[in-house]
A and B are shown apart, each in its own frame.
Chain A
């Protein structure tokens, strides 16, 4: 495979680039720009980007799979919400569909779904989704022992040192997030969205769902963004307004109004690539199945370039200014952060 770096000692890839595809054009953009793998979701609440107009029906999935396979790129399916009571059949069907399509791996969060998948299709390769909230080797051992997971995606709450410790004692190879929108909370354990709207990533596959968003422009030019009537942020005329993701609004704490939880920002790990390689991180994931094909193309291309550059000379690697500038343009609030990887962020 052209793009991949295979570690013959561990039998695993090092920094395999895993890219988001919300639709077929995005999948092609990822494949054409250097993805080692793409991940997709099906058209229902079985995946954590359950948005209107997004995701793959059987025909599109097959067509995407063929496109990727012909070019040596793997396809994973994210079936990473929690199977709801009375609706287990949908998650079962999603697993069946992934098996029929012969996708390369399933990304799962729910132990019920994992149990079904590994009982019915013992040869199916399972990855643990970030939505399973596994942040320590003991938790990973549970999923490995019971469901034979082959890889785990870690929540965006660990410092680099902690990622290293998990990787060291983990029974399975580790995937981490490299770029994209930043979840401030442990994934799979954040119910803020359902508290405000009744819909959460766990129950519905969406956070701060568009169905509950209101943009209200006042006579004085002030723009207010609301989620189910809760005021998330207020922008003065000319101020750049962002989507009302509820952890990224301005709130008042102790009589002081600020981004009490987090600012609108994206995670960017380009400067950490040598460290992530040294730790033995197997795969680097780009967030953004809800973003455009142009976003997928740009971010995939830059991360491909960065990983390749770093591989050639890790000692002298530095994130290039032009990469950082380009990524800023597609980042939330036009800013990026190292997030929890960098201790002072915490």
Chain B
């Protein structure tokens, strides 16, 4: 089976117009699966439930498979209701990003996808969730090809595997909004400052090393995870879907690059320089090789492909 290409949910706070324009382009791209929804902060209200549904209809009409993503950190009762609303619609499959959503979906007998924040570290976890309706799971972003290989060998039949191959890595979630904190504002009066950072806010060490990226209550890597050179390895490991995480610029070109490599129209190497220029703070791939996530390995391409 050919690997499918997915676009993860937009993790940043973009204006409604920016999102609508963005997805018009996505509709015409080579992407197979589109994840939609606000997964980071419930205060980001530019898009209402019906706006997401309209977008979903538009993308479906262009032949895209749409999955609705639920919030990752569910605390307030309003967040619970919102999670429930996404889980209780029957038009689209849901990506559960919290066990609360898994509970609602499995009780309703619906099949679902789990996002990378659902902790699956062993084959027994996969089996349990499959019995509860899991149809596709995302590999934890901190795991690499070695663990994936073992999980794939023991994966229950019929289960699909998805791996993130491009984007700043979601690393942590908090009750605290770090964007508001950086502006000396409390979360309850955040003034929606994060809408000014379409790719998050860089957090550097005092030696000017670009270390992390603040996105409201979420903390990401400053570096962009890039595994375009590992698509062949993923094919051999039986990965079904690879995920690109959207960014404010060049997402279409990134999709194009991955699509070309998956279709074997160009070798991965052809796109390295171009992709490097799209990652404004640099690339990393350490997690995939079992190292610190921020590491950029310098394994020559040929060796990496045969690994």
Contacts and interface: CB of A to CB of B under 8 A. Distances in A.
Interface stretch (B7-15, B26-34, B99-107, B299-307): B99-107
Interface string B185-225: 01110000000000001111111110110100001010000
Contacts, number: 216
A197 B292 contact: yes
B182 A253 contact: yes
A189 B173 contact: yes
A173 B80 CA distance: 20
Contacts of A188: 119
B123 interface: yes
Given A112-B122, A253-B214, A135 B172 contact: no
B83 interface: yes
B114 to A, nearest CB: 11
Nearest to A186: B173
Nearest to A144: B103
Given A83-B122, A188-B119, A196-B294, A230 B209 contact: yes
Interface centre among A86, A188, A253 (most CB of B within 10 A): A253
B138 interface: no
Contact of A251 (B72, B124, B129, B211): B211
B147 A84 contact: yes
A121 interface: no
A179 interface: no
Interface in A205-253: 228, 230-232, 234, 247, 249-253
Interface string A173-205: 000000000001110111110111110101100
B212 A192 contact: yes
A136 interface: yes
Contacts of B174: 157, 184-186, 261
B98 interface: yes
Interface stretch (A50-58, A317-325, A338-346): A338-346
B80 A146 contact: no
A6 interface: no
A296 interface: no
Contacts of B290: 198
Contacts of B77: 165
Interface in A30-72: none
Contacts of A142: 99-100, 102-103, 106
A198 B286 contact: yes
A260 B181 contact: yes
A111 B98 contact: no
Contacts of B258: none
A136 B100 contact: yes
Contacts of B169: 191, 195
A9 interface: no
B206 A231 contact: yes
Contact of A194 (B73, B119, B178, B287): B287
Interface centre among B104, B142, B147, B201 (most CB of A within 10 A): B142
A62 to B, nearest CB: 28
B125 A112 contact: yes
B124 A112 contact: yes
Given A189-B117, A260-B182, A139 B103 contact: yes
B204 to A, nearest CB: 5
Interface of B: 72-77, 79-80, 83, 98-104, 106, 117, 119, 121-125, 128-129, 132, 140-143, 147, 150-151, 169, 171-178, 181-183, 186-188, 201-209, 211-212, 214, 219, 221, 286-287, 290-295
Given A88-B122, A230-B205, A345-B176, 13 more contacts: A86-B150, A110-B119, A157-B75, A162-B75, A186-B175, A189-B117, A190-B173, A202-B140, A247-B172, A251-B212, A256-B182, A261-B219, A346-B188
Q: Closest 6 interchain pairs by CB?
A: A112-B124, A138-B100, A157-B175, A195-B293, A82-B121, A142-B103
Interface of A: 82-86, 88, 109-113, 115-116, 132-139, 141-143, 145-146, 157-159, 162, 165, 184-186, 188-192, 194-198, 200, 202-203, 228, 230-232, 234, 247, 249-254, 256-257, 260-262, 340, 343-346
